[in-house]
Amino acid sequence: MSLYKSIILLGGASGVGKTQISYPLARLLGIPIVEVDDLVEALQAMTTPDQAPLLHYWQTHPEAHTLPPEKIVELQIAAAQALTPAVAAVIANHLNTGTPVLIEGDYLLPALAVAGSFAGTAAADRVRAVFLHEPDERQLVDNYWRREPDAGEQHTRARVSRLYGDWLAGQARELGVPVVSARPWPDVVDRVTAALGFAP
């Protein structure tokens, strides 16, 4: 199956560089991008906190940023799990219509590459995934600072990202989903395309 006909999932924690990779990768393959953050915004607009408490948690609990990083990661995993049916529906729609797409976001779970309403069908092999991983917490602090210099050094956010990224990478490896190091940056797009089974 040609990668150009695939549904590609690009996951990984916040701050690892997914956005910088997703756009050149999509241009290389000539396919559009769906950002999971946009799905979150749409679902939040169509639901109430009572209907979807996990999707509204950060708005309804502004004090949550003071929680221990481990607890924030637990909440992030729960939110990702709550979003999984919506992402699976997007994937299934693209499979049914035969239209390729690159789906990118923090809330993508590795299980989406091997499970869901599309698993076990002839088209399921068109769903490919790779997870970007940055295990160096100091590097994540630097990444956030470059992106948001006015916010200063975001150490807690970097700790959350590192913990969540480690969890995602562990899940991916258990399921046989490729995990690619975010660095070195100059060749990361090449390494991602190779992990997806495509060499330009």
Q: Is the peptide bond before 184 cis (omega within 30 degrees of 0)?
A: yes
Task: Please give the pLDDT value at position 198.
Answer: 81
- For 108, counting Cβ atoms within 10 Å of its Cβ (0-12 exposed, 13-18 middle, 19+ buried), the class is buried
The fold for domain 3-195 equals Rossmann fold (3.40.50)
Task: Please give the pLDDT value at position 114.
Answer: 83
Q: What is the percent of the chain where pLDDT is above 90?
A: 82
- Asked if the model's pLDDT at residue 44 lies above 50, the reply is yes
Amino acid in position 50:
D
Q: What is the pLDDT of residues 144-192, one digit of tens each?
A: 999 999 999 999 999 999 999 999 999 999 999 999 999 999 999 999 9
Cα distance between residue 7 and residue 22, in whole Å: 13
Cα distance between residue 154 and residue 143, in whole Å: 10
Amino acid in position 52:
A
Task: Please give the pLDDT value at position 33.
Answer: 96
For 134-159, the DSSP string reads: ---HHHHHHHHHHH-GGG---HHHHH
Task: Please give the pLDDT value at position 115.
Answer: 55
Nearest-5° Cα angle at 55, 50 to 59: 85
Task: Please give the pLDDT value at position 116.
Answer: 47
Cα distance between residue 107 and residue 73, in whole Å: 11
